[in-house]
């Protein structure tokens, strides 16, 4: 793994970075972004930095400038083998509880086997109730709807719950019965030539950069696009269902709650458009 620190550049991976009272560690109080590194460059860096800025604003954390974060990403990538796919994380915590600047650093490591397998073979997904209505969170800014914060313990617990049920990933479902997003991915489906995703503004899910990029270019594959709500039970009648995120690209959901889905002939075309091969 490569580690780079704002202001210091690449440091040995075992270098201590956080103070014991860093609020990122003790409260999950901070923001982050994860992006795909291909050909030695971070993919969709500007879009990720824009979202990191929106996340930091919601938490009232003063993020370093875009130029500083771009330089940090470049320092990490310069130390990486451009022939190898990578996953780059940019992290900004609120800093030490006793005061001081935010803690800002980057890590860059290889893409995991499970991701490569999912791209190739698709994944089994389990629905999990989220316990709130689809549109409940946006009117309560303290719930940090749409912010990519370091508080991912619930997301990781959701993945473990899906794993315990024999699935590879999870799909959160609102109390009023709508599919929202995965703990680390956006839901995308194809129906009647329209590539759809869940509206982020209305629901407070994370606005996925990969899904946005895919929908913005969907015309190249001959699809129309739409943002709409869907119930999980309606996904079986569509022409393909995917989870999208920066490092995995698009992986096809091949079963939902143990009911088979697909395979969709569109998976390979979508992965190619995103620059991934299974």
- Can you spell out the DSSP letters for 41-62? EETTHHHHHHHHHHHHHHHT--
Task: Using the CB atoms, write b or e for 15-24: b if 16+ within 10 Å.
Answer: eebbbeebbb
Q: With binding defined as CB under 6 A, does residue 174 bind ligand PLP? A: no
Near ligand PLP by CB under 6 A: residue from 186, 264, 267, 271 = 186
Size of the site for ligand PLP (CB under 6 A): 14
H-helix or E-strand spanning residue 197: strand 194-197
- 16-24, 217-225, 228-236, 240-248 -> range binding ligand PLP (CB under 6 A): 240-248
Q: Running DSSP on this structure, what letter comes out for residue 63? A: P
Identify which of residues 186 and 203 has a Cβ nearer to ligand PLP in the complex.
Answer: 186
C-beta separation of 115 from 243 below 8 A: no
Near ligand PLP by CB under 6 A: residue from 246, 264, 267, 271 = 246
Q: With binding defined as CB under 6 A, does residue 181 bind ligand PLP? A: yes
C-beta separation of 224 from 218 below 8 A: yes
First to last CA, the chain: 24
Tokens 């689809």 found at: 134
What's the CA gap between 176 and 138, in Å, rounded?
15
C-beta separation of 64 from 104 below 8 A: yes
Nearest to 170 by CA among 152, 182, 154, 156: 182
Minimum Å gap between C-beta 101 and ligand PLP is 25
C-beta separation of 91 from 150 below 8 A: yes
**Pattern of binders to ligand PLP over 16-35, x per CB under 6 A?**
------------------x-
Minimum Å gap between C-beta 42 and ligand PLP is 12
Q: With binding defined as CB under 6 A, does residue 245 bind ligand PLP? A: yes
- 61-69, 82-90, 177-185, 234-242 -> range binding ligand PLP (CB under 6 A): 177-185
Near ligand PLP by CB under 6 A: residue from 103, 127, 244, 271 = 244
State the chain's maximal CA–CA distance in angstroms: 56
Near ligand PLP by CB under 6 A: residue from 25, 185, 188, 195 = 185
Identify which of residues 103 and 184 has a Cβ nearer to ligand PLP in the complex.
Answer: 184
Cβ neighbours around 229 below 10 Å, total? 18
**Pattern of binders to ligand PLP over 199-218, x per CB under 6 A?**
-------x-xxxx-------
- 108-116, 123-131, 179-187, 253-261 -> range binding ligand PLP (CB under 6 A): 179-187
Identify which of residues 96 and 126 has a Cβ nearer to ligand PLP in the complex.
Answer: 126
H-helix or E-strand spanning residue 17: none
Quote the tokens at residue 162: 């899906």
Minimum Å gap between C-beta 192 and ligand PLP is 24
Binding residues (CB under 6 A) for ligand PLP: these are 34, 181, 183-186, 206, 208-211, 244-246
């Amino acid at each position: 793994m490569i580690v780079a620190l704002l202001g210091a550049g690449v440091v040995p991976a075992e270098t201590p970075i956080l103070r014991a009272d860093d609020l990122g560690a003790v409260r999950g109080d901070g923001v982050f972004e994860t992006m795909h590194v291909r050909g030695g460059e971070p993919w969709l860096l500007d879009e990720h930095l824009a979202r990191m800025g929106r996340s930091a604003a919601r938490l009232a954390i003063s993020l370093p400038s875009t130029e500083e974060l771009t330089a940090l990403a470049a320092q990490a990538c310069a130390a990486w083998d451009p022939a190898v796919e990578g996953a780059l994380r940019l992290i900004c915590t609120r800093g030490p509880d006793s005061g001081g600047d935010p803690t800002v650093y980057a890590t860059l490591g290889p893409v995991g086997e499970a991701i490569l397998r999912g791209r190739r073979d698709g994944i089994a997904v389990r629905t999990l109730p989220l316990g709130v209505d689809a549109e409940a969170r946006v009117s309560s800014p303290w719930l940090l709807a749409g912010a990519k914060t370091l508080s991912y313990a619930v997301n990781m617990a959701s993945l473990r719950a899906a794993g315990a049920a024999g699935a590879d990933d999870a799909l959160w479902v609102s109390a009023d019965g709508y599919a929202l997003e995965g703990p680390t991915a956006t839901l995308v489906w194809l129906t009647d030539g329209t590539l759809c995703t869940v509206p982020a503004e209305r629901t407070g899910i994370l606005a996925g950069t990969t899904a946005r990029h895919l929908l913005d270019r969907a015309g190249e594959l001959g699809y129309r696009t739409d943002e709409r709500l869907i119930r999980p039970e309606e996904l079986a009648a569509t022409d393909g269902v995917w989870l999208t995120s920066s490092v995995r690209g698009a992986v096809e959901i091949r079963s939902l709650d143990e009911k088979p889905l697909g395979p969709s002939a569109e998976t390979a075309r979508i992965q190619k458009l995103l620059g991934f091969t299974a």
